[in-house]
Every structure is written in C-alpha cells, then in structure tokens.
Structure 1
Amino acid sequence: MSSRKFTRAAGLGLAAAALGLTLAACSPQNTLNAVTSTNGLNVIQNVRYGPAPRNVMDVYAPKNVQNAPVVLFIHGGSWQNGDKEGHKFVGVSLARAGYVTGVMNYRLAPEHRYPDYVQDAAQALKVLRDNAQSYGGNPDNLFVMGHSAGGFNAVEMVDNARWLREAGVPISAVRGVIGVAGPYAYDFRGEPTAVAFPPNGNPDDIMPDRHVRPDAPPNLLLVAANDTTVDPYNGVTMEAALKKAGVPSELKVLPGLNHITIIAAMARPLNFLGDTRQQVIDFIETHKLP
C-alpha cells in the first residue's frame, strides 16, 4: 500500500465484532452503545446547525457543570457513511470526563464533496459555541476532535485559515484540535474516496498538510500502529507541516491498535484496548483555559 494511501474507513461494528460484543438481532455497534449509559448526563438530541437533513448534532453534558471545556466530535466513514448515533459512546466518554460534547452528522459524498463537510463542521462549531453557556460550557474554550475522515474534517477546519473565519468563529476560541487516524496527506486520485473530492481536484489544494496557518492552535495527532486503512505516514507528514509552520504539535503512535480499535478505545469499557481516551483527556487538560 502506498505510504499516503487511504482506501476506506470501516465501521466501528467490525471492531466490536472482533471483541465479541455481539448480541442476537443487534449490530455490534448498537451493542456497544446499548451498554453506554447516559445516567447523570444531560443529552440534547438533534440540535440543528444548518438546513440540510444531516445538519444536526447531539450534545452530551455533565449535569450542573459550569464553564466546562467544549468538544466537537466528527465521525469517520470515508466521507460517505457513518453517523452521530453510532458514536454515542464518544460523547458519553468525553462528558464523563467533564466536557460539554457535541457529536455531529455532516453531509455525505458523493452528493456532497469537499469542502461541504468541512463547512458543516465549522458551522456546527459555531452553533455549539453560540449555545455553549446554556449547556454549561465555556464558548472560548473549544476543542475539535475527529476520527478517520472526521479527523481530516477536524484538522482541515481548524488549521486552514479559511473555515473558522467564514463561519464567524474566533480563532482564539479554539484551544486545540485532535485528529485520530486521519488522512491528512494522501493522493485521493484513483482511490474509492475520490468521490468525496471535486472532479479533477488536486491534493495540493485540498489536503490539510498543504495549508497550515502559523497561528493554528496545538494539534494532537493519534496514529494506530497497526492501521492498514489510513497509512500512519499521514500523521508523520501532517506533523512535519505543523512543525514547519511553527504550530505546536504532538504525534503519538499507539501500539497494538488498528484503524477501528483506536476510536473504540474511547469507550470507557474498552479503555483496556489502548491509550486513546487518556491521551485525549491529557491534551485537553493541558491546553484548556485555566
């Protein structure tokens, strides 16, 4: 496989199946979410951030919290599938850590190509910020996190100067971005994921590693050592671009994890798989406002 190749983003259900988290008549992903309790949390479903049917997010917040960090999470799925419902476990996990967390849907390819889904992320962040105080969050203490294709969306939206400005989100309000197994630096031409990008699109005009703003906030790039879906070299290349621009960054290669288990490990019952959740919490705690 090419060092920059990104072929597909499999569903979390594959990981759950491998872990034996199956129940009769239920998908493995639904099983994981079914054992993820929201007791003690406030959950606001289908918060609308735009006019399209998929322009919605679910917000998970600790009860009686005030001035908490706010996290927007973006799911993966090759920009062609996936949804917020399948990532309830991420919202709950981050809310249990004390953070107001939005888990968003976005418009999908091939009907919607770059930059539609990046613009969706920026607009979702704006709405989450505008309503942060009503959920107990601090609107100037924002973090963005994404897995796989969602990692691309997160890093591109935050590190490119264009998207926050267009959405009306102050760049100073975003304290950090977390990419989990994201494809930040690959040639999509000839790949199945080409349908997520403009016809005749050029990676030099699109890939997040090609246009990092020097005033971007700290980046945490988590890479699965055994990833065969998104080549770990994407993280290496993205970190090099960040360092060249003078942006603080951390590249962490997590041993024993693959493209799916690196995000499955965000679920508190699956922390034994690897260090994803603790890495994310440590990063937020380090870079949040005092």
Structure 2
Amino acid sequence: MKRRLFVFPVLLALGVALTACNPVATLNNTTNLSGLDVTRNLHYGPDARNVLDIYAPQQASGKPVVLFIHGGSWDSGSKDEYVFVGDSLARAGYVTAVMSYRLAPTHPYPDYIQDAAQALKWLQDNAAKYGGNGQRLYVVGHSAGAFNAAEVVDNARWLNEAGVNINTVHGLVGIAGPYDYDFRKFPSKNAFPAGGDPANIMPSRHIRPDAPPHLLLVAANDTTVDPDNGERMKAALQAAGVPYTYTVLPGLNHITIVAALSRKLTFLGGTRKAVLDFLATQEQKP
C-alpha cells in the first residue's frame, strides 16, 4: 500500500469539471434520489458514528441487501460521501445500507471491524422493515472499507461475536483493498494496535474455507494501494478453496474505481457493471 488511502479528491482524480468547491458534494447533490425510499441516520450501535443510511426501491419487499463500507485510511470518511453508491445499487434492485464506523486513532483495529459486524447484525434483524431480506446480505467495500469487508466476512470470529448467522452473507466485493500489507511501514499504522503484527491482522490470513464467493476489483493505475494486495488476496482465497472472481480494471486509479460505481460515471470504467453482474450471479443461486 502506498501513501494514504484517500477518501475522495475527485476533482483532480476524475479530470472532469465539477463546478462546486467540494466535488464530493457536487456528485452527491446532483444524484437524483426520486423514486427511492431513503432513510437516514439509523443507529446500528451506541456510538455517534454507528449510523447507516438505507436506500431502497419504492415498495420493496424481500430484496437482497448490500452493506457498503467506505474508505479513508480508517481515520476519515463518512457514509454521507457515498450517496451515489446508495442510489446506484438501489436502482439496480438492492436495498442498500451505507454505513459510517468509528475511526482511528481513537478506535484502532478491531473496533471498525466490530462495527461492520454490528451493522450486519442490525441488517439481519431489521432489513425487512425497509423492504430487504435479512437472510440475503452482501458486503461491498472500497479501500480501507474493502479491508473491513473482507475481515468481517472472512474471519468468522466477528460474525459469531455479533450474532450474525454466517450463512446470511452470500457474497463479498472488495474494491482496491489493502488486504495484505505491512502497515508498520505506513502512516496507516495508527489504525492498528501498537506492536500489532500484520500476520495476525491482515484479512488474507483469516479466510475461512466456507466463506462466500468474492469479487476482487483492482485498479490498473492504482498508486495508493499496491495492486499486489489483490494478487495476494486472490492466492489466499485460492488456497482456502473459496470461489472468487479477480478483475483488473484498465484505466482506473484508486479513486476512479469507486467513482465509477455512480450511474453518471460509468464512462470511467467497468466497476458498476462488474459489481452488478457479480451480485446478479449470486442471486441466481439458492
């Protein structure tokens, strides 16, 4: 992993003329949510950051549920920056929860992993109120959020501790994730316990053989998270016998790979299509 896991310097990264001072706000403010049921700031836990927003097709009933986990080097970021993700996945027929979580350095590993587990527990128990099927959960994460997604799904410890039935999680999508790196050599070391050993923390070391299918998306031009993270995670999944799809998306970098989840920015690359194709394939299974 190289430098910080930036949240969203979209103005420079996309190379498009967004007119407002805050390009994230511009993208989100121009995302039309009409025709969706949106419920904000639902508490899945006791902390002020233990909140999520739900985006659902109108009059949804029994729809599969996607939990999206944002990036930000574990010390920044918010659900509020990813309205476009909620819109994009809900338009495709998924009840979509976009979560915030406790941040480092005040809350290092595993606090943010436990938050992801608690959010899944909440969705398992409450998704039906918002048109979702709490027995058909998927987890999608970008950057640091992809680390969180892989660790919470692949390491049965966190699901078991939170009371989540591991069979309710049917798939995982990791977008440009740092699944296997030595955090001690980077500023992100502050997101992990002092003296922590990457060999005991990295998601690639915790893959259970009964984990659900994975989609690993890697940006060919990523200079923030070394693409070798994806290669090492792929090798670990293969060794554990876990089904996976590994896709390198050409022309994309660490930021544009998640920006391309927006319905308005699919011209950037194939992120949205790859994610929706993967989810649809899993939904065809019993």
User: Contact (CA 8 Å) 1:68, 1:137: kept in 2 or not?
Assistant: yes
Q: 1:33 aligns with which of 28, 33, 46?
A: 28
The one-letter code matched in structure 2 to 1:110 is: P
Show structure 1 runs of 5+ residues with no match.
none
Partner of 1:131: 126
Q: 1:87 aligns with which of 82, 90, 93?
A: 82
Q: 2:217 aligns with which of 222, 226, 232?
A: 222
Shift of 1:151: 0.3
The one-letter code matched in structure 1 to 2:172 is: V
Instruction: Give distance in 2, aligned partners of 1:178 and 1:220.
Output: 5
The one-letter code matched in structure 2 to 1:54 is: R
C-alpha change, 1:272 and 1:257, in structure 2 (3 Å) is same
Partner of 1:278: 273
Instruction: Give distance in 1, aligned partners of 2:99 and 2:282.
Output: 23
Instruction: Give distance in 1, aligned partners of 2:17 and 2:40.
Output: 25
Partner of 2:46: 51
Partner of 1:9: 5
User: Contact (CA 8 Å) 2:147, 2:177: kept in 1 or not?
Assistant: yes
Q: How does 1:98-113 map to 2 (within 5 A)?
A: 98-113=93-108
C-alpha change, 1:153 and 1:201, in structure 2 (3 Å) is same
Partner of 1:75: 70
User: Would you say 1:241 and 2:236 are equivalent positions?
Assistant: yes
The one-letter code matched in structure 1 to 2:213 is: P
The one-letter code matched in structure 2 to 1:10 is: F
RMSD: 1.2
User: Would you say 1:22 and 2:18 are equivalent positions?
Assistant: yes
Please state whether the residue corresponding to 1:150 is helix, strand or coil.
Answer: helix
Please state whether the residue corresponding to 1:163 is helix, strand or coil.
Answer: helix
The one-letter code matched in structure 1 to 2:108 is: R
* Number of aligned residues: 285
Shift of 1:14: 2.9
User: Contact (CA 8 Å) 2:11, 2:18: kept in 1 or not?
Assistant: no
Shift of 1:120: 0.2
Shift of 1:16: 6.2
Q: 1:66 aligns with which of 58, 61, 69?
A: 61
C-alpha change, 1:205 and 1:15, in structure 2 (3 Å) is farther
Shift of 1:147: 0.2
Q: 1:142 aligns with which of 134, 137, 142?
A: 137
Compare 8-17 and 201-210 and name the one that shifted more.
8-17
Show structure 2 runs of 5+ residues with no match.
none
Instruction: Give distance in 1, aligned partners of 2:135 and 2:243.
Output: 19
Please state whether the residue corresponding to 1:12 is helix, strand or coil.
Answer: coil
Partner of 2:259: 264
Shift of 1:128: 1.5
User: Contact (CA 8 Å) 2:13, 2:256: kept in 1 or not?
Assistant: no
User: Contact (CA 8 Å) 2:71, 2:145: kept in 1 or not?
Assistant: yes
Shift of 1:15: 4.7
TM-score by length of 1: 0.96
Partner of 1:152: 147
Please state whether the residue corresponding to 2:9 is helix, strand or coil.
Answer: helix
Please state whether the residue corresponding to 1:158 is helix, strand or coil.
Answer: helix
TM-score by length of 2: 0.97
Shift of 1:20: 2.6
Identity of aligned pairs, percent?
A: 61
Shift of 1:7: 2.5
Partner of 1:188: 183
Runs of 4+ in 1 over 4 A off after TM superposition: none
